């Protein structure tokens, strides 16, 4: 089985939507997929949970399917969304100086894609 993990760094909702769409598409096609929210994308955590947000349906599908591997603790703190991430119960990743490392994913055989 092919494995792909997306590290989404872009804070523009339209760019982030493409990361979510690709994760869902690959999952539907039988790939083992995961999404990690990093960088300025962490500022979207609060907005995406709102039903009025255009990408809310994608976000809720990602969460419901268990495809969100986590969010960067340091970047959520920097973007002012750490409390929001915690209140949503999102996994906070911080094994590499407060950020999620890529190496464990490579070690598990995942192709790493950054957007």
What is the domain range of residue 95? 3-114
CB neighbours (10 Å) of residue 30?
9
Q: Which CATH number belongs to the domain containing residue 45 in this structure?
A: 3.40.1260.10
Question: Number of helices and strands (H, E) in the chain?
Answer: 6, 5
pTM: 0.96
* Cα(21)–Cα(106) distance, integer angstroms: 22
pLDDT, mean over the chain: 97
Helix (H, G, I), strand (E, B) or coil at 18: helix
| Residue 1 predicted with pLDDT over 90 | no
Q: What confidence tens digit (pLDDT) does each residue in 49-77 have?
A: 999 999 999 999 999 999 999 999 999 99
Total domain count for the chain?
Answer: 1
Q: What confidence tens digit (pLDDT) does each residue in 5-16 have?
A: 999 999 999 999
Torsion of CA 49, 6, 38, 103, to 10 degrees: 140
What mean pLDDT is predicted for residues 7-36?
Answer: 97
The predicted structure's pLDDT at residue 43: 97
């Amino acid at each position: 089985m092919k494995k792909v993990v997306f590290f989404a760094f872009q804070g523009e909702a339209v760019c982030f939507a493409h990361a979510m769409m690709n994760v869902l598409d690959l999952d539907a096609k039988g790939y083992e997929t995961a999404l990690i929210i990093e960088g300025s994308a962490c500022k979207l955590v609060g907005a995406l949970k709102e039903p009025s947000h255009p990408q809310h349906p994608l976000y809720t599908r990602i969460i419901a399917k268990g495809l969100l591997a986590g969010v960067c603790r340091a970047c959520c703190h920097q973007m002012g969304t750490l409390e929001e991430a915690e209140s949503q119960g999102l996994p906070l990743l911080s094994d590499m100086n407060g950020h999620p490392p890529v190496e464990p994913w490579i070690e598990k055989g995942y192709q790493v894609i950054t957007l």
